[in-house]
């Protein structure tokens, strides 16, 4: 596959997958997701590769799903999903559950290098990685999205607190709550991630695979995979409910999801409150 929205390189037995749509903050189009999936498979099959790093070009890791860039609109016209709820469910499942679960279960260690905005679908793919490094400028925003890993990433009560309010998390909060492994200065993020990845790549790949499998199985024994599958239906209901005439948060056509808008407003109010102190 010839990549148009990501780049792929192998350095010191580390495959570096870079989302490369900086103009739209690496919004996740269907093409980008398909290219990432191909790249993850390529890294899986390359015996030289022992670790995979996922990162984003530009000023953000990923601002979420692509809600309507010219490229995304053209792709939808060329390859439309089936109409109605069946198409909505099937397309979303294929792109957001099937792919993300496959990346979560990738046989090699994976590391996310996160910076800038990491919103909704950005959180999803970062969560699917084994280790998360975040630059100190990172803004995380979770919600009841398709791959609903948030209760596992933050814990039950913390997930309720954050999602009920709809607010951004700083990199430091992400580390405090257990989602982020390390917080580093933005200028040092790539170097720190590659230093860690190189050290992991020195270990025996079979042992790394067995360790990862054992840890993922521990999580699955607690119900992770059935929860992800079950929560997907609630996400579909939630997203359909955004269009209800009685919904409190109006849709903003072509810009952002209503809950993202609410989070931005909440952050502005919090900043104004801090300035008044």
Confidence of residue 75 (pLDDT cuts 50, 70, 90): very high
Per-residue pLDDT averaged across 261-269, rounded?
74
- Helix 30-45 to helix 70-78 angle (10° resolution) is 80
38-59 residue pLDDT tens:
999 999 999 999 999 999 999 9
Q: What average pLDDT does this structure show over 225-229?
A: 98
Query: Would the pLDDT of 256 be above 60?
Result: no
Say if strands 14-19 and 182-184 run parallel, antiparallel, or are unpaired: unpaired
Proportion of the chain above pLDDT 70, given as a percent: 95
Q: What is the pLDDT of residue 268?
A: 74
Average pLDDT of the chain?
A: 94
Identify the CATH class of 6-276: alpha beta
Q: What is the pLDDT of residues 135-152, one digit of tens each?
A: 999 999 999 999 999 999
Burial profile 53-79: b = 16 or more Cβ within 10 angstroms, e = fewer: bbbbbbebbbbbbbbeeebbeebeeee
Tell whether pTM > 0.75.
yes
Please state, in angstroms and rounded to a whole number, the distance separating the CA atoms of residues 51 and 111: 8
């Amino acid at each position: 596959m010839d990549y148009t929205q990501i780049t792929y390189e192998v350095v010191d037995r580390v495959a570096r997958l870079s989302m490369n749509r900086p103009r739209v903050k690496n919004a996740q189009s269907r093409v980008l997701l398909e290219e990432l999936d191909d790249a993850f498979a390529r890294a899986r099959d390359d015996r030289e590769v022992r670790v995979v790093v996922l990162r984003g070009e530009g000023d953000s890791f990923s601002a979420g799903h692509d809600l309507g860039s010219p490229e995304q609109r053209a792709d939808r016209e060329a390859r439309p999903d089936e109409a109605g709820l069946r198409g909505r469910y099937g397309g979303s499942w294929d792109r957001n559950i099937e792919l993300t679960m496959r990346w979560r279960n990738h046989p090699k260690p994976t590391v996310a290098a996160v910076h800038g905005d990491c919103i909704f679908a950005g959180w999803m793919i970062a969560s699917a990685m084994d280790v998360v490094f975040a630059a100190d400028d990172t803004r995380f925003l979770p919600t009841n999205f398709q791959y609903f890993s948030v209760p596992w990433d933050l814990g039950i009560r913390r997930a309720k607190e954050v999602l009920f309010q709809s607010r951004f998390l700083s990199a430091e909060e992400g580390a405090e709550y257990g989602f982020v492994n390390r917080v580093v200065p933005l200028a040092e993020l790539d170097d720190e991630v590659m230093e860690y990845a190189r050290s992991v790549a020195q270990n025996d790949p079979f042992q790394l695979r067995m360790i990862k499998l054992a840890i993922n199985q521990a999580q699955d024994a607690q119900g992770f995979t059935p929860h992800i599958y079950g929560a997907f239906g609630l996400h579909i209901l939630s997203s359909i409910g955004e269009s209800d005439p009685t919904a409190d948060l109006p849709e903003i056509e072509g810009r952002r999801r209503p809950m993202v808008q609410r989070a931005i407003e909440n952050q502005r109010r919090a900043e104004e409150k801090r300035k008044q102190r």
